[in-house]
Amino acid sequence: MEYAQEYSKKEKAVRILAGVFVGIVIYFLHTIWLIPIINDVVSRPHCFEWLGFNLADYFWYLVMVGVPLFAFTMSWILIPRGIAGIRERRFPPKAVKVYRPTKVKTGFLAWLISAMHLLIPFVLLLLAAWGYLQAPYFPAFDKQALDPNLCIKDSIY
């Protein structure tokens, strides 16, 4: 039985520490910056414009298209591994290192795992396309019913 090539202990430590550092930075940026922005946009979408577009007009596009496309940007890294796995008829492919001893899978199981690596990003793109077609049918925000006083910036003086 063949095993996939492993990272050295130094490579493992560097990659794990880099991943932890990036994860902590993303967590704090998410907590301090992104969550307040999302809460603000959800509570008063008519007050925000981006590139000249009012977010109340395009709110459903943000939800139905933007979220799947953002998830696609996270999953696009699966595509090269899936293609290599199908091409080499083994998983993980020869050029891929692993963190722990991993038996190389061949045959139908390797094809299935590689196909799943390709299917996930493809499904996210299909979901974004479907959302683009569905977003016009969702109810629009009634701007007359939304309070324009919510858009006044709070003054600290």
Distance CA 38, CA 145 (A): 21
Whether pTM > 0.95 for this model: the answer is no
Q: What integer pLDDT is reported at residue 98 of this predicted model?
A: 94
Distance CA 89, CA 130 (A): 32
Per-residue 3-state assignment (H helix, E strand, C coil) for the chain? CCECCECCHHHHHHHHHHHHHHHHHHHHHHHHHHHHHHHHHHHCHHHCEECCEECCCCHHHHHHHHHHHHHHHHHCCHHHHHHHHHHHCEECCCCCCECCCCECEECHHHHHHHHHHHHHHHHHHHHHHHHHHHHHHCCCCCCCCCCHHHHCCCCCC
Q: What integer pLDDT is reported at residue 147 of this predicted model?
A: 72
The residues of the chain scoring below 50 in pLDDT are: 155, 157
The domain limits of the chain are 9-137
Q: What is the pLDDT of residues 46-82, one digit of tens each?
A: 777 778 777 777 888 888 999 999 999 999 999 999 9
Distance CA 97, CA 84 (A): 13
Q: What integer pLDDT is reported at residue 155 of this predicted model?
A: 45
Which are the contacts of 126, defined by CB distance < 8 A and separation ≥ 6?
none
Six token digits for residue 48: 């925000």
